[in-house]
């Protein structure tokens, strides 16, 4: 590692131009291929029952095409008035002109005379249309439909809105992009200010931000390649940006800080680079590996969103590490002491020498000394505050938030509100029963009769809608059951369970065909079940791998046990605050967050993996300095003081940078981004402050030499060194 850093510092132009070429190639990949590699669809990697049902339906309904509803409402005219009919007819004419490549068909009340297409007070009606392509492809076509809708929405006395799969996906994409830009601008701006304050100069302050953005562009270029081979969720770009800013800035910050410290010890430029590579850069690599091990927990959950988020995070962490190993030493070698140029007046950017770091005049030494004089009191006070917050996790309710949680001024939300209020849209949905396999029509009818009787006895099922849809080969049938359950709710999940466990098996016992409970209700039930099923495996994998890596790094079983417990406390507090702020609405208005009864079902598991990985950063950087000094002095108390004081400013700055990055995303409009950003923000803030400056020194004081206890029967394990032999 030291040889690589020295080579890069001595040959900066070769390395810099290589990275510039990779950057240019990544820009091309992003522009040309990224959009085609991402999807808004939420699918499973495996095939649960709901997916099997949808696949069987292809023989009955064909490929699933995107469908839309256009809402036409007037406070002046009734649907029976000619003015109303003329406007609807004009809209349909313009839709037809788009051609069969965009619109497969469209229909309205004036053709079907379906009373369900007219509102209760006769002042609104619906135009139904089916696009000629799937939802993903429809995102490219639906803007032309939206243009027509917007055109007629400007007509006096009428309100024209659209809602459907493609329009929702298009609006979600747009909102996600806006949140991404907002998160980057807020997080990046605040991070830049913090970096300048930490380093006291513009050059050293700007460099980490530039390298983080470079890593994000390159990582998204790799995502574009992978996405065109194996399609990924569009949320991956938010993940790459958020994690890329956080770790990219932090890793560069730690390395530059250590390099300046070594230069301040009067080592020449190349020797300072070598010594930095043998200490801080090694810690960055170990920290990065720890983060990646935690992120593996996301990847093993077989749903597209989890796999995509995990892949995106892993890619950007790897790219950030490679930049730290090669490009950063090259830039340091090129800039030399110009790294400290453009200093900001009144900011002291001079790095302290070791003797000053351990001096009693250092505020962090004094604070660590205070905590270690009263370790039990320090631990008790902190735990009295944090444990009750983490216990709020018992009230955590997960599920799926609907369109109504999106910003109220969005047209799709306005359309949803009209449909809900005027047409009872959403109050009745269907549980879909799919029969797959050869069957006799008489046997199917008999089963449907039994099903109808059983449905009438269920409190959450209303009745069978119409007659079964059957294909010409009599091997696929669809029976739809009306239900008042809200899609994604616990009531809906329980209804699906009753259908699968008792109602459907009893009704279709006389058929040899495969019977699937499918549709939107079943999809969410399968997703919740999958998350519950994989959660223990994810926790076990992340905790075990992190424990083993830390044990081999610090040659102790006590250090990793404490690290795991403290990180679990951070995660627990993050969960508890999500409950208090979002579910119970305590202080949500202060932050501008929505109050909701539900936390998105995938967020807790996602937060666990990301928080656990990022929190390990601070443990590795702090404890590596503690271990470094302990190896020299064998004085546990002095080593803790040295480790805390030598990393305090940098880790505090790094923590505040992550808080700024996650805070920028938490201020977005999408509820799920608010929940993710806030959860990460509070966990990292807690870990980089209270846990690092109170719990770590207090616990290390209480345990003394036992901190470094390693059973003899484990000494055969290889050592992962954070400091090279000099």
What local confidence, expressed as pLDDT, does residue 39 receive? 84
pLDDT reading at 543 higher than 80: yes
Whole-angstrom distance, CA of residue 613 vs CA of residue 185? 24
* Token pair recorded at residue 259: 């390099």
What local confidence, expressed as pLDDT, does residue 351 receive? 47
Whole-angstrom distance, CA of residue 352 vs CA of residue 345? 18
Whole-angstrom distance, CA of residue 186 vs CA of residue 335? 28
Instruction: Judge contact between 303 and 527, C-beta under 8 A.
Output: yes
Whole-angstrom distance, CA of residue 462 vs CA of residue 455? 7
Instruction: Judge contact between 288 and 251, C-beta under 8 A.
Output: yes
How many Cβ atoms from other residues are within 10 Å of residue 183's Cβ? 25
Count Cβ atoms within 10 A of the Cβ of residue 99 and give its class: 0-12 exposed, 13-18 middle, 19 or more buried.
Answer: exposed
pLDDT tier at 46 (50, 70, 90 boundaries)? confident
Residue 333 to residues 9, 43, 65, 336, 676: CA-CA distances in angstroms?
4, 48, 57, 5, 38
What local confidence, expressed as pLDDT, does residue 286 receive? 85
Greater pLDDT, 619 or 365: 619
What local confidence, expressed as pLDDT, does residue 191 receive? 85
Whole-angstrom distance, CA of residue 423 vs CA of residue 654? 52
Mean pLDDT of 216-240: 92
- The 3-state DSSP class for residue 159 equals strand
Hey, do 65-169 and 424-525 end up sharing a CATH topology, with the first three levels equal?
yes
Q: Which of 241-245, 255-259, 337-341 has the lowest mean pLDDT?
A: 337-341
Mean pLDDT of 574-582: 94
pLDDT tier at 325 (50, 70, 90 boundaries)? very high
pLDDT tier at 364 (50, 70, 90 boundaries)? low
Greater pLDDT, 179 or 145: 145
In the chain, how long is the greatest CA-to-CA distance? 92
Strand residues in 303-428 grouped as ranges (E): 398-399
Mean pLDDT of 121-137: 85
Q: Which of 180-184, 270-274, 372-376, 684-688 has the lowest mean pLDDT?
A: 180-184
Count Cβ atoms within 10 A of the Cβ of residue 643 and give its class: 0-12 exposed, 13-18 middle, 19 or more buried.
Answer: buried
pLDDT reading at 357 higher than 50: no
pLDDT reading at 703 higher than 50: yes
pLDDT reading at 217 higher than 70: yes
What local confidence, expressed as pLDDT, does residue 369 receive? 76
CA triple 594-597-599, angle to 5 deg: 80
DSSP annotation of 458 reads: -
Q: What is the DSSP string of 24-75?
A: HHHHHHHHHHTGGGEE----BSS--HHHHHHHHHHHHH-SPPPEEEEEEE-S
What local confidence, expressed as pLDDT, does residue 726 receive? 44
Q: What is the 3-state secondary structure (H, E, C) of 405-449?
A: HCCCCCHHHHHHHHHHHHHCECCEEEEEEEEECCCCHHHHHHHHH
**pLDDT per residue over 666-681, tens digit each?**
888 888 889 999 999 9
Q: Count of H helices and E strands in the chain?
A: 27, 12
**CA-based nearest residue to 230, from 170, 136, 292, 308:** 308
Domain ranges for the chain, please list them: 1-47+201-340, 65-169, 424-525
**pLDDT per residue over 199-209, tens digit each?**
888 888 899 99
- How is domain 1-47+201-340 classified at the CATH fold level? Multidrug efflux transporter AcrB transmembrane fold (1.20.1640)
Whole-angstrom distance, CA of residue 629 vs CA of residue 643? 7
DSSP annotation of 306 reads: H
Q: Which of 276-280, 400-404, 545-549, 566-570 has the lowest mean pLDDT?
A: 400-404
Instruction: Judge contact between 332 and 273, C-beta under 8 A.
Output: yes
Count Cβ atoms within 10 A of the Cβ of residue 313 and give its class: 0-12 exposed, 13-18 middle, 19 or more buried.
Answer: buried
Instruction: Judge contact between 222 and 331, C-beta under 8 A.
Output: no
Q: What is the 3-state secondary structure (H, E, C) of 284-338?
A: HHHHHHHHHHHHHHHHCCCEHHHHHHHHHHHHHHHHHHHHHHHHHHHHHHHHHHH
Mean pLDDT of the chain: 86
What local confidence, expressed as pLDDT, does residue 313 receive? 92
**pLDDT per residue over 50-100, tens digit each?**
999 988 888 787 777 778 889 999 999 999 999 999 999 999 999 999 998
**With a threshold of 0.85, does the pTM exceed it?**
no
Report, in angstroms and rounded to the nearest whole number, the Rg of the chain calculated over CA atoms: 30
21-46: buried (b, 16+ CB within 10 Å) or exposed (e) per residue? ebbeebeebbeebbeebbbbeeebee
pLDDT reading at 101 higher than 80: yes
Instruction: Judge contact between 142 and 170, C-beta under 8 A.
Output: yes
How many Cβ atoms from other residues are within 10 Å of residue 548's Cβ? 14
- pLDDT cut 90: percent of the chain above it: 37
Mean pLDDT of 155-181: 86
- Name the β-bridge partners of 518: 432
What local confidence, expressed as pLDDT, does residue 571 receive? 92
What local confidence, expressed as pLDDT, does residue 465 receive? 80
CATH of 424-525, one of 3.40.605.10, 3.40.640.10, 3.40.50.2300, 3.30.70.600: 3.30.70.600
- The 3-state DSSP class for residue 173 equals helix
Length of the chain: 726
Mean pLDDT of 645-657: 80
**pLDDT per residue over 525-534, tens digit each?**
999 999 999 9
- pLDDT cut 70: percent of the chain above it: 96
Q: Is the dihedral angle over the CA atoms 419, 422, 427, 433 positive or is it negative?
A: negative
* Token pair recorded at residue 364: 């962090």
* Token pair recorded at residue 426: 């959403």
378-395: buried (b, 16+ CB within 10 Å) or exposed (e) per residue? bbeebeeebeebbebbee
CATH tag, 65-169: 3.30.70.1430
**pLDDT per residue over 606-622, tens digit each?**
999 988 888 877 777 78
Mean pLDDT of 555-573: 90
CA triple 136-142-143, angle to 5 deg: 125
Whole-angstrom distance, CA of residue 399 vs CA of residue 524? 8
Whole-angstrom distance, CA of residue 201 vs CA of residue 389? 39
**CA-based nearest residue to 328, from 400, 254, 391, 428:** 254
What local confidence, expressed as pLDDT, does residue 590 receive? 86
Place of tokens 């809105």: 161
* Token pair recorded at residue 541: 């994998």
């Amino acid at each position: 590692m030291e040889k690589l850093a020295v080579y890069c510092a001595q040959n900066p132009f070769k390395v810099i131009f290589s990275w510039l070429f990779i950057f240019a190639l990544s820009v091309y990949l992003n522009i040309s291929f990224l959009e085609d590699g991402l999807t808004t669809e939420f699918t499973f990697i495996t095939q649960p029952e709901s997916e099997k049902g949808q696949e069987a339906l292809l023989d009955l309904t064909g490929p699933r095409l995107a469908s839309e509803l256009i809402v036409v409402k007037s406070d002046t005219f009734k649907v029976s008035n000619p003015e109303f009919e003329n406007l609807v007819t004009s809209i349909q004419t313009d839709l037809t002109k788009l051609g069969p490549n965009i619109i497969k068909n469209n229909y309205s009340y004036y053709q079907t005379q379906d009373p369900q297409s007219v509102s209760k007070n006769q002042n609104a009606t619906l135009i139904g249309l089916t696009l000629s392509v799937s939802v993903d492809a429809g995102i490219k076509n639906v803007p032309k439909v939206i243009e027509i809708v917007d055109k007629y929405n400007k007509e006096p006395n009428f309100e024209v809105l659209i809602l459907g799969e493609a329009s929702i996906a298009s609006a979600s994409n747009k909102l996600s992009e806006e949140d991404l830009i907002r998160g980057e601008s807020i997080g990046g701006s605040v991070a830049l200010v913090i970096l300048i304050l930490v380093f006291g100069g513009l050059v050293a302050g700007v460099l980490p931000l530039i390298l983080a953005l470079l890593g994000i562009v390159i990582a998204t270029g790799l995502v574009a390649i992978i996405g065109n081979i194996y399609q990924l969720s569009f949320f991956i770009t938010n993940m790459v940006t958020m994690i890329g800013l956080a770790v990219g800035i932090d890793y560069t910050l730690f390395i530059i800080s250590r390099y300046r410290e070594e230069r301040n010890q009067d080592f020449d430029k190349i020797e300072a680079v070598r010594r930095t590579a043998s200490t801080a850069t090694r810690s960055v690599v170990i920290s990065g590996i720890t983060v990646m091990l935690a992120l593996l927990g996301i990847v093993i959950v077989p749903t597209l969103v989890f796999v995509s988020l995990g892949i995106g995070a892993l890619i950007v962490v790897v790219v950030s590490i490679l930049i730290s190993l090669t490009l950063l030493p090259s830039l340091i070698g090129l800039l030399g002491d110009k790294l400290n140029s453009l200093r900001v007046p009144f900011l002291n950017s001079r790095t302290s020498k070791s003797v000053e770091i351990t001096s009693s005049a250092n505020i962090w030494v004094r604070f660590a000394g205070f905590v270690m004089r009263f370790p039990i009191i320090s631990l008790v006070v902190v735990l009295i505050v944090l444990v009750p917050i983490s216990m709020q996790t018992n009230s955590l309710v997960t599920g799926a938030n609907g369109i109504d949680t999106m910003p109220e001024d969005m047209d799709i939300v306005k359309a949803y509100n009209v449909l809900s209020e005027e047409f009872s849209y959403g109050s009745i949905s269907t549980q879909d029963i799919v029969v797959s396999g050869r069957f006799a029509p008489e046997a199917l009818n008999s089963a449907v009769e039994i099903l109808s009787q059983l449905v009438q006895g269920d409190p959450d099922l209303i009745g069978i809608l119409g007659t079964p849809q059957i294909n010409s080969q009599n091997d696929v049938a669809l029976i739809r059951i009306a239900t008042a359950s809200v899609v994604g709710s616990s009531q809906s999940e329980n209804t699906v369970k009753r259908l699968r466990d008792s109602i459907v098996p009893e009704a279709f016992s006389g058929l040899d065909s495969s019977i699937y409970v499918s549709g939107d209700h079943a999809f969410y039930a399968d997703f919740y079940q999958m998350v519950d099923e994989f959660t223990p495996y994810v926790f076990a994998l992340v905790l075990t791998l992190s424990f083993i890596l830390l044990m081999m790094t610090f040659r102790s079983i006590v250090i990793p046990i404490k690290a795991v417990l403290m990180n679990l406390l951070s995660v627990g507090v993050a969960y508890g605050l999500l409950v208090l702020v979002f579910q119970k609405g305590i202080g949500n208005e202060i932050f501008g967050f929505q109050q909701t009864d539900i936390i998105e079902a995938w967020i807790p598991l996602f937060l666990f993996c990301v928080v656990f990985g990022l929190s390990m950063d601070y443990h590795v950087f702090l404890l590596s300095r503690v271990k470094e000094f302990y190896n020299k002095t064998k004085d546990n108390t002095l080593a803790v003081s040295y480790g805390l004081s030598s990393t305090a400013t940098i880790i505090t700055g790094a923590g505040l940078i992550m808080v700024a990055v996650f805070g920028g995303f938490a201020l977005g409009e999408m509820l799920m981004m608010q929940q993710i950003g806030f959860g990460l923000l509070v966990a990292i803030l807690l870990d980089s402050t209270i846990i690092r400056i109170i719990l770590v020194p207090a616990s290390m004081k209480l345990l003394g030499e036992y901190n470094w206890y390693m059973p003899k029967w484990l000494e055969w394990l290889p050592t992962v060194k954070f400091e090279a032999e000099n």
